[in-house]
Structure 1
Amino acid sequence: MALGKVSVNNLNLGQGAVTEIERYFLFIGPAPKNVGKLLPLDTQSDLDVQLGVPASDLKTQVQAARLNGGDRWAGVAAPIADDITWQDALEHATRSYSVEGVVITSPVTTAAELSAMHDAAIELSNRLGRRVFIAAATPGIAPEQNWSAYVTEQKAIVDGLAAPRVMPVPQLHGNNLGVLAGRLANAAVSVADSPMRVATGAVLGLGSEPIDQEGVPLPSAVLSQLDAARFSVPQSYPDYPGVFWGDGNMLDAPGSDFQVIENLRVVDKAARRVRILLIQRVADRRLNSSPNSMATATTALMAPLRQMAKTVNFAGQQFPGEIEPPKDGDVVLVWKSKTAVEAYLKLRPLNCPKDLTANIALDLSPDDSE
């Protein structure tokens, strides 16, 4: 015999939105006020109150980032002093904040410092599953240097270094790092867009043009040399007004996939969303080796890629998604044992022109209408 029972349960199918951390950066650097604290900032923040009235390295870069970051710009600042290292600030900040990028404003002068930043990014991924890139300042030109000596000095900092999560930015104009950070954080463009994109507009608030000890203004040849050495630098086009930017170069090895920031950002964005889906499926027997379950799981893991690939058609133009639409076979699940499964995902960035050439020819044939 039995008594009737009725229960109603809410089933969590994992269909909700994931909090987006893309374009949210942590700025670490020296400032005279609020040392050791974490300061959430947006376009309305009073930087004099938060970071102090005297000019500081941190405040200068944050101002440039906010100016270039658009009306939705937001970030968090971690002022430090001599008794607090950037490592301490990063450790403190990651207890409370998840960020896409870390901007370290104190200029580095050795490869060991850049390598330590890459190690910190990898350690953060290993420990907390958080993927970040680090934008690091290198010094601008000193008053006693000429451009040749400066380029030699800068190249020595990155020579032989493989640090694919680090992006070095020479402080040629004093606030280059902040300008680039703001350009990358602007919500008007996607994480798949290069900072080189001219349609984004010219950079804003870039400092005064540097000169060397002989009074020679910054030559374009120097920018070319720095770019070839994997630094991220501004650029301009003759007879075209405005200053723009070059590639967001990462310290990856030649021939590798992540030599530019946009490739790393799209993969990291997909990885963050896929990780949440995998966590939701831990010890869930609905994911099993049956054909129906495998098809369902494959479709679920493909959803973030489809979302990233969405395009918009407006005013006769197509605004593309961040990647190409996924195809059959772009997500593969492999059971390594009865309790371990591996997922393989493929995403394809769209082609993007960075080197354009026009070939013009004369047509001197007779006009048939005459």
Structure 2
Amino acid sequence: MAWPKVLIKILNMMRGPIAGVEFHFLFVGYGTVVGNERHLITVDSTSDLDDVLSAADAELLTTMKAAQLNGKQDWTAGVMVLDKADNWQDAVSLANETSSFEAFVLNFPAPDKAFLEQAVALRTELKNKLGRETFVICTTAAIDSTSETGETWAAWLAATSAIQTGVASEYITVVPQVHLKNSTVGLYAGRLANQEVSIADSPARVKTGSILGSSELAVDKDGKALELSILKTLESNRYAVPMWYPDYPGQYFTTGRTLDVPGGDFQDIRHIRVAMKAARKVRVRGIARIADREFNSTPGSEASAKLYFTKDLREMAVSQTIGDYEFPGEIKPPREEDITITWINSEEVEILLSVSPYECPTAITIGIMLNKRLGE
């Protein structure tokens, strides 16, 4: 006979929320650094950037102010201020020892293709070593508008367009500096971090409003203004650029191109952001199921596992209705066929998830017909 007893077990079923890093970016730039100490500076929408970032140079401070203003409420960011002799890859890695970020922004111009490839390589290292899903925002040099030795828009366009040639990665988006105060990358990063909308919304969204702050654009050495034709050419070369609409006030952005290959699923920044969010969530859920015999190949266990691994997708798909207006979720609700579980052997399992973004019109054609209604 067993000795009478009662055992109480508190079971963790991993049904709780998983904290996210969405909208939280790391900015890396130059300034005046005393000694060898480098540390992560955390700022938010309430920070006095002139005070907190007193060591930053004018370019980094301009970027941060533009990002803060356009990030609006609940904006947060990390900042690493470096000496120009420092290794920026080490700085990004150091910051990731303290915090996690959805993206890191490099606030110094990419001089060539090799620089962009180094940024992509660092992103890959962060995933390999820490499991971090992050993307990169880079920028290119502003036009030299010096009257005697400067550039024309044609010369600048040719040099800038060539930088991205041959780079293939959906995890990087490049923003040319085209504003007079070199604030373009800050405007773009802030627009992506605006929590009034979701990560599934495009930076091209006009309904969010115009960019905030100075929208004055640079001129070339001859004093010629930047034209939409230049921006269209840059966009066709996979750059994320500002734009405007004739007879419609305000300045906006294009869709947020990445350097994904032609035909790739992630040529639009909003698509890779949604996929990375899902990946971050599901990774944690996968870790919690390591060596758990309750997850096995029986029909009942697989059915339970499908519900478990799609939990975050269902939450991402939640829509909100206010009156007769519906705000769609980040993705469409997952269906039964959007998850498959395949057992490779008795100890290895492969889970495939399908994430379905909503359609989002960035080109709208409207036809007007004449209807002659007789008798009226």
Alignment TM class, shorter chain as reference: over 0.9
Question: In structure 2, what is the equivalent of residue 227 of structure 1?
Answer: 235
In structure 2, the residue corresponding to 1:200 is in which secondary structure? Answer: coil
Quick one: percent identity of the two aligned structures? 38
Among 75, 78, 85, the alignment partner of 2:77 is 75
Q: Match for 1:97: what amino acid?
A: S
d(CA) in 2 for partners of 1:89, 1:141: 28
1:149 aligns to what? 155
TM-score of the superposed pair, with normalisation by structure 1: 0.97
Deviation at 1:77, TM superposition (A): 0.4
Equivalents in 1 of 2:262, 2:103: separation in Å?
Answer: 23
Q: 1:114 touches 1:163 (CA, 8 Å); kept in 2?
A: no
Question: Over residues 297-325 of structure 1, what are the superposed CA-to-partner deviations in whole Å (9 max), with x where a residue is unaligned?
Answer: 01111111111111111121111011111
Report whether the alignment pairs 1:217 with 2:219.
no
Counterpart of 2:169, as a letter, is A
Q: Could you tell me how far apart the structure 2 residues matched to 1:88 and 1:207 are?
A: 34
Aligned runs of 1:166-181 on 2, under 5 Å?
A: 166-173=172-179, 174-181=182-189
Q: Please say if residues 107 and 139 of structure 2, whose CA atoms lie closer than 8 Å, have aligned partners that are also in contact.
A: yes
* 1:165 to partner: Cα distance: 0.9
**Residue 268 in 1 paired to residue 276 in 2?**
yes
2:348 pairs with one of 317, 337, 340: 340
| Runs (4+) off by over 4 Å | none
Alignment of 1:247-326 (within 5 A): 247-326=255-334
Residue of structure 2 equivalent to 1:162:
168
The answer for unaligned runs of 5 or more in structure 2 is none
Residues 14-71 of structure 1, C-alpha deviations (whole Å, 9 max, x = no match): 0111111000000000022577221010112121222117752221111100000011
- By how many angstroms is 1:357 displaced? 1.0
Q: In the TM superposition, what is the alpha-carbon distance from 1:164 to its structure 2 partner? A: 1.9
Whether 1:245 aligns to 2:253 is yes
Residue matched to 2:112: 110
| Residues 269, 54 of structure 1: alpha-carbon distance in 2 compared, 3 angstrom cutoff | closer
AA aligned to 1:339 is E
Give the alignment partner of residue 48 of structure 1, picking from 23, 47, 50: 50
Which string of whole-angstrom CA distances, capped at 9 and with x for unpartnered residues, describes residues 134-188 of structure 1?
0001111112111111110011101122122111111111011011111100110
- Residue 16 of structure 2 corresponds to which residue in structure 1? 16
After TM superposition, the structure 1 stretch with the greater mean CA deviation from structure 2, 42-51 or 88-97, is 42-51
Which string of whole-angstrom CA distances, capped at 9 and with x for unpartnered residues, describes residues 259-289 of structure 1?
1100100000111111111111000001001
User: Counterpart amino acid of 1:146?
Assistant: T
When normalised by structure 2's length, the TM-score is 0.95
1:223–1:233: 8 Å Cα contact kept in structure 2?
A: yes
- Where does residue 121 of structure 1 map in the other structure? 123
Partner of 1:201 in structure 2? 209
Distance (whole Å) between structure 1 residues aligned to residue 29 and residue 57 of structure 2:
12
Output the amino acid matched with 1:169: V
Pairs aligned (count): 368
Aligned-residue offset at 1:207: 4.9
- Decide which moves more: 315-324 or 47-56: 47-56
CA distance in 1, matches of 2:163, 2:151: 16
CA distance in 1, matches of 2:243, 2:289: 47
Q: Distance in 2 between matches of 1:20 and 1:202?
A: 27
Which residue identity is paired with 2:299? P
**CA offset at residue 109 of structure 1?**
1.1
- Alpha-carbon distance between aligned partners in 2 of 1:157 and 1:353, rounded to the nearest angstrom: 29
Aligned equivalents of 2:120, 2:54: Cα separation in 1: 30
Cα distance in 2, alignment partners of residues 94 and 289 from structure 1: 37
Provide the C-alpha distance between the structure 1 equivalents of 2:281 and 2:55, rounded to a whole number of angstroms. 40
